[in-house]
Structure 1
Amino acid sequence: MMNEIWRDAILPPNSNIGEVVKNLDKVAIKIALIASESGLFVGTISDGDIRRALLKGLNLESPIDSLINRSPFVVPPNVGRDMVTRMMMLNKIQQIPIINDKHQIMGLHLWDNLATQPKRSNVMVIMAGGKGTRLYPYTQECPKPLVRIAGKPMLEHIIERAKLEGFNHFILAVHHLGHMIKDYFGDGSRLQCEIEYLDEKEPLGTAGALSLINFLPSTPLIVTNGDVITDIRYGDLLDFHALHNATATMAVRFHEWANPFGVVSTNGIEIIGFEEKPVNRSYINAGIYALQPSVLVKLMQNQHCDMPTLFEKIRSDGDRTIVYPMHEPWLDVGIPDDLIRAQKKLDKASK
């Protein structure tokens, strides 16, 4: 068990999806425990349940009643660690609630606490070649990925987070002031990992640099922009990608935008309806992807290509492209205000 952190993951059945998402992000154990007002165990809602709900069109205000797994895998308090570990492996689950004979929650077994994080052979490619013009003056004499947040370059935060999940082989695509990135990270030995570089002679876009990889990986790649600060689990993205037999998977964020004006619907000059300050909901590209190695052969070497264009090419070729709805904290550090927000986020996380 993870100390008593499971207590913070308990929510009432009348919660909405937004409240579950906040809890999942805050407690960070990928599951919410649902209990009645009298303390009786009702069921669970997992991180995956939320993603599936968002894909079905539910929103943050939707009630959770239909999402609750009311018959999850549970164990009594007297089941030992080794047995729990075997149960998790056999059933491919990462959390098992501990429920007593009175149907009360006594604790939670977590895979992360029972087993060490497996090493992943997958290559992670980080796009680190942008000029970061919107971050001037921070990037005037410093490449954007080396801009410091909480005492470290944002690129180092990305690498360290990926290392915690077992990733050890990184390829950095560099262009603007790329020599400074190479001088800082070297071959990766300082960070106890392997780092290689792709040198873009000209900016090649968010996908074009992949054409410079001179070998065909044997496992899917993770590709991420070098300015995205997030708590996403890259391993979960890869597992989702594999589970759905996808050729390319794009992590997406649910975005809501409130129109500040009343909207008038018309047919010609006739008014047919009104909607007061409607809320528009859509998915936005989060700048993180999982790709099959076969995708690399679809790129022309040294030709500019952005990820949406590559995804369109993959789809038009008849291969499967899917989205991975993420709810984890995410920030694209594009302007100085974003840098300040990222600083506050990482400062808070380190306390």
Structure 2
Amino acid sequence: MPMSKMYCAIAEFSVRPGNSICDTIACIDRNRKGIALVTDDSGKLLGTVTDGDIRRAMLARIGLETPISELIERKKGTPYYHPVTAPINTTSRELFIMMSEKSVFQIPLIDSGGRVVDLICHQDLFPEQPLDIQAVIMAGGFGTRLRPLTDDLPKPMLPVGGRPIMEHIVNQLRNVGIRRLNVTTHYKPEKIMDYFGDGQAFDVTLNYVNEDQPLGTAGALSLLSPPNEPILVINGDIMSDVNIRALIDYHREYRADMTVAVRRYEVEVPYGVVESEDSRIQRIDEKPNLTFFVNAGIYLIEPQVCKLIPSGQKFHMTDLIERLIKDNHVVVSFPLREYWLDVGRHDDYLLAQKKAEK
């Protein structure tokens, strides 16, 4: 039967070709549907820009003031160029099949003139339910760089805004629909267990996995029961507003074995950088800013990947990533555009406190 959902306010989802990528990000954040529709003045659909497109632009180091029309032009020749659309009388079943076959989560409905009259999202067809994903919070570190604050507390239990860092993470996971949480512990595990208990008070289910000896950032996963669903792994000292559902959609879009959240990191070189061929100087760049993408300590892993982690041995996420790449598995990077802070040093802890006060 045809869709009975009332037409949405298309203006809420629309940008014009001359709008910037920054404008488009604001549109996507406002509508909370992970997409912006690029339309002309008559409402005719010219293209779509998803949250994933924005993050791919970040990886390509495209400036935020770039017109969105240029981003759409850059999509030519990729699977993302032609938007997936449907006529206005398309049934729910047909839309679901299209989403499944095309690996998309939003479909604009258009009239005979190509004008957008509605936007159907996956959650419109299937109301949000608890995600079939379990999470692992890595909470076993010593927090050496934060001493003396961590003399009596493990780092994830340091208070930020009146609550432990780990409570912020637990709440974020629960709010997105992830309620089965594993916590890896080593240093002062009783502090964490006494506070969180079995998780019932936080509307989650907590399972504790204690490392007798530190096993590295991936090795502790070998202590879990073999999973049947993807695992979201997050370091227990991270404060972030990462859009977890966008991360999951991105992972599924690429059919990835592992998705690694990354963030932009700039280094200012305090000297003139000289480029030479043999002895002849070709170029000098005075005090340049170098930009990198660095590991943000958040990972989404398919269950079969856990079989590659050696049991009871120290094994880091970097080791796992290298093994997956060597074996030709699909490992993709998910650039963060949201607030992110690794609370690893005293200055970082002060920044986290200031952010919580706002």
TM-score band w.r.t. shorter chain:
0.7 to 0.9
Does structure 1 residue 332 correspond to structure 2 residue 349? no
Matching residue's letter, 1:145: P
2:128 aligned to which of 117, 126, 133? 117
Query: Helix, strand or coil for the counterpart of 2:140?
Result: coil
SS of 1:287's equivalent? strand
Task: Please state whether the residue corresponding to 1:120 is helix, strand or coil.
Answer: coil
Aligned mate of 2:202, from 167, 170, 191 = 191
Alignment of 1:64 onto 2:68: yes
State the 1:126 CA deviation.
0.9
Shift of 1:338: 2.5
Please give the alpha-carbon distance, in whole angstroms, between the structure 1 residues aligned to 2:142 and 2:55: 34
Shift of 1:50: 1.0
CA contact (8 A) 1:88 1:95 kept: no
Say whether residues 1:300 and 2:300 are aligned partners: no
Matching residue of 1:135 = 146
Letter in 2 for 1:259: V
Shift of 1:142: 1.5
Map 1:1-351; keep pairs closer than 5 Å: 13-21=17-25, 24=28, 28-32=32-36, 34=38, 44-56=48-60, 58-68=62-72, 73=85, 89-92=96-99, 94=105, 116-213=127-224, 215-348=225-358
Worse-matched range after superposition: 179-188 or 287-296: 287-296
Instruction: Report deviation, 1:346.
Output: 4.4
Given that 1:24 and 1:47 are in contact with CA atoms closer than 8 Å, whether structure 2 keeps it comes out as yes
Inter-CA distance 136–107: structure 2 relative to 1 (3 Å threshold): farther
Contact 1:241-1:290 at 8 Å conserved across structures: yes
- Deviation (angstroms), 1:283: 1.6
Q: Are the structure 2 counterparts of residues 254 and 24 from structure 1 closer, same or farther at C-alpha, using a change threshold of 3 Å? A: farther
Per-residue CA deviation, residues 45-98 of structure 1 (Å, 9 max, x unaligned), is: 22011123334453445442133479674898xx9xxx8976764543555679
Do the aligned partners of residues 34 and 260 (structure 1) sit closer, same or farther apart at CA in structure 2, a change above 3 Å counting? Answer: farther
More divergent stretch after superposition (142-151 vs 23-32): 23-32
Distance across 2 between alignment mates of 1:20 and 1:346: 27
SS in 1 for 2:207: strand
**Quick one: percent identity of the two aligned structures?**
36
* C-alpha separation in 1, matches of 2:293 and 2:26: 18
Distance 1:10 1:336, change over 3 A: farther
Contact 1:25 1:328 in 2 (8 A): no
Asked if structure 1 preserves the Cα contact closer than 8 Å seen for 2:259 and 2:301, the reply is: yes
Q: How far apart, in 1, do the equivalents of 2:253 and 2:13 lie? A: 27
Of the structure 1 ranges 188-197 and 9-18, higher mean CA displacement relative to structure 2 is found in 9-18
Q: 1:340 to 1:144 in 2, by over 3 A?
A: same
The letter for the 1-side match of 2:231 is L
Unaligned runs of 5+ residues in structure 2 are 73-80
Q: For the Cα contact (< 8 Å) 2:96–2:125, is it kept in 1?
A: no
Superposition deviation, residue 21 in structure 1? 4.0
Deviations 1:201-255 (A, max 9, x none): 1222211111211x21111211111112222233433343333333222111233
Give, in whole Å, the separation in 1 of the partners of 2:32 and 2:355: 15
CA contact (8 A) 1:25 1:329 kept: no
SS of equivalent to 2:179 = strand
Structure 1 residue runs without a partner (length 5+): none
Amino acid at match of 2:216: G
Number of residue pairs matched by the alignment: 342
Q: Partners of 1:309 and 1:299 in 2: how far apart?
A: 9
Q: Tell me by how many angstroms 1:152 deviates.
A: 1.7
What TM-score does the superposition give when structure 2 sets the normalisation length?
0.78
The 2-side partners of 1:330 and 1:84 are apart by 41
Deviations for 1:88-139, whole angstroms, at most 9, x for unmatched residues? 6454355567999999999977666785322223221110111222233432
Post-superposition offset of 1:26: 6.8
TM-score, length of structure 1 as denominator length: 0.80
Shift of 1:180: 0.6
Q: Quote the Cα distance in structure 1 between the aligned partners of 2:238 and 2:13.
A: 27
Moved more, 139-148 or 239-248: 239-248
Q: 1:264 to 1:67 in 2, by over 3 A?
A: same
Q: Is the 8 A contact 2:85 2:109 kept in 1?
A: no
Secondary structure in 2 matching 1:138:
coil
